């Protein structure tokens, strides 16, 4: 345990899964006082807290918070919250990942740490990297923004922690020492949190490189390059470093121009997933993982649910669930990735909460790779207005799917890649994806 916490007054704010794990961790210390706060009067996980704990629900009071030595906030709470702005010079404010890093540093942990961030693809790369390291015989724990809360995976027996790190988590993290780290890409997302500024969002992402030994960047995205540090490897669509090339109509992933694996051996689809594999390979090379082990692991990786996942082929039409595509760049990646496989075109299902994004980049695909787009949800009109000739507004995802199926013909794809968050009509992207897959599986042949 971290002895530096003993005797302190600590507040934990936000009852998400990550902070429930934080509370359990802190209860093992000899604190002067531990209190839990949540702005909601009926937050989730409330019943998981032990009896007798100081619990405070409702609006935050800066005067009360100022009495604490440290505050651990949920990633969902922005640092510009009025209560935090009023005390930022008086009380240390951190997140669970920073507290986790301090625990590892205090106990001189020998575990390696892999850090992964980016606007899109980070969960796939995190899961794939964890799979590759496990196949190499290492004791691996995967967590943070994907998988388990960091304090649920803390264990002295772990060889490697593979952490997916969101910009929100990185905002409050400064002590995490990473052996191999990557920014996969930086595209418009969460701009409602960053005053509409992609630069502020990019700066939050780049905090991952502050204490990273081996930095990996994306050659296709200059926004991933560190400004004040050197990178050790890069991945991209050409055949440099970690890359790809086409030989006789067959695409290979390459390392320094040498063929590593035929992409037909992969079970995850699209150019964006080829880039994800390359990033995972680069991370594993930094940790000295045998390349034959890597290749075997890549072949056996089946991907994650709701991420360009093939649900069914019916009447020669392929239906893909890419519900995790909650921003424009992620939807673009799915379109580009599948367009080579489906030459007759894609019918796109999109819509939901746009989070202040600019949908204009999708316009270039309408009437080309995307033969038609059905739009639903709160911000459907913004999508329809991109090109009314190739778009139509519908009431909901069910209507979008049914009309897309009737329009589609053999060898085409029907792709749910919403480019939007789901909270206007669903509890989250997982529910949206499950509902879509269930509807697809209940379609009858035409």
Catalytic, out of 190, 205, 306, 324: 190
Query: Catalytic residue among 19, 112, 131, 145, which?
Result: 145
Q: Would the annotation count 118 as a binding residue? A: yes
Q: Which one of the listed residues 112, 122, 306, 371 is annotated catalytic?
A: 122
197 is in an annotated binding site: no
CB contact set of 31 (below 8 Å; sequence gap of 6+): 5, 6, 7, 8, 9, 10
To the question of whether residue 107 is assigned a binding role by annotation, the answer is no
Residue 181 in marked binding region: no
Provide the Cα torsion 185, 297, 322, 403; round to 10°: 140
- Entry field: residues in the chain: 446
Distance CA 353, CA 52 (A): 40
Between the alpha carbon of residue 165 and those of residues 134, 162, 420, the distances in Å are 20, 10, 21
Note if 122 is an active site residue. yes
Residue whose C-alpha is closest to residue 237's, from 191, 270, 192: 270
119 is in an annotated binding site: yes
Q: Radius of gyration over alpha carbons of the chain, in Å?
A: 23
In the residue annotation, 145 being an active-site residue is answered as yes
The DSSP annotation for 115-183 comes to EEE-SSSHHHHHHHHHHHHHHTT--EEEEETSSB-HHHH--TT-SEEEEE--HHHHHT-----EEEEEE
Does 122 appear as a known binding residue? yes
Is 134 annotated as ligand-binding? no
Binding site: which residues? 118-124
Active site amino acids: 122, 145, 190
Binding site for ATP: which residues? 118-124
């Amino acid at each position: 345990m971290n002895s530096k916490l003993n005797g302190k007054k600590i507040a934990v704010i936000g009852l998400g899964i990550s902070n429930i794990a934080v509370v359990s961790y802190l209860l093992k210390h000899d604190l002067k006082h531990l209190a839990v706060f949540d702005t909601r009067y009926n937050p989730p996980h409330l019943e998981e807290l032990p009896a007798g704990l100081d619990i405070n629900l409702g609006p935050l009071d800066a005067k009360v918070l100022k009495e604490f030595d440290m505050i651990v906030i949920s990633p969902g709470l922005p640092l510009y919250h009025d209560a935090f702005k009023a005390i930022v010079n008086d009380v240390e404010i951190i997140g669970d990942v920073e507290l986790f890093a301090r625990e590892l540093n205090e106990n001189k942990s020998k575990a390696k740490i892999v850090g992964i961030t980016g606007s899109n693809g980070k969960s796939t790369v995190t899961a794939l990297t964890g799979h590759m390291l496990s196949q190499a015989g290492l004791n691996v724990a995967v967590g943070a923004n994907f998988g388990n809360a960091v304090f649920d995976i803390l264990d002295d027996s772990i060889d490697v922690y593979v952490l997916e790190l969101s910009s929100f988590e990185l905002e409050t993290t400064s002590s995490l020492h990473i052996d191999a780290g990557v920014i996969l890409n930086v595209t418009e997302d969460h701009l409602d949190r960053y005053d509409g500024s992609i630069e502020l969002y990019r700066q939050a992402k780049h905090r991952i490189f502050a204490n990273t030994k081996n930095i990996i960047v994306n050659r296709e995205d200059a926004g991933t390059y560190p400004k004040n540090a050197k990178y050790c490897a890069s991945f991209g669509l050409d055949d440099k470093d970690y890359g790809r090339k086409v030989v006789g109509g067959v695409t290979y992933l390459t390392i320094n121009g040498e063929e590593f694996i035929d992409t037909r051996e992969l079970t995850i689809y699209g150019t964006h997933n080829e880039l994800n594999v390359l990033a995972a390979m680069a991370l594993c090379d930094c940790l000295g993982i045998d390349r034959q082990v890597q290749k075997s692991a890549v072949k056996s990786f089946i991907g994650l649910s709701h991420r360009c996942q093939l649900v069914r082929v019916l009447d020669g039409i392929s239906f893909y669930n890419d519900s995790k595509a909650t921003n424009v760049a992620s939807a673009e990646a799915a379109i580009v990735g599948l367009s080579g496989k489906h030459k007759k075109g894609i019918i796109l299902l999109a819509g939901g909460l746009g989070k202040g994004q600019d949908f204009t980049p999708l316009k270039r695909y309408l009437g080309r790779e995307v033969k038609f787009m059905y739009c639903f949800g709160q911000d459907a009109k913004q999508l329809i207005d991109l090109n009314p000739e190739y778009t139509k507004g519908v009431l909901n995802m069910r209507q979008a799917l049914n009309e897309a199926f009737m329009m589609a013909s053999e060898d085409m794809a029907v792709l749910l890649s919403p480019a939007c968050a789901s909270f206007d009509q669903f509890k989250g992207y997982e529910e949206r994806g499950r509902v879509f897959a269930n509807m697809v599986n209940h379609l009858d042949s035409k």
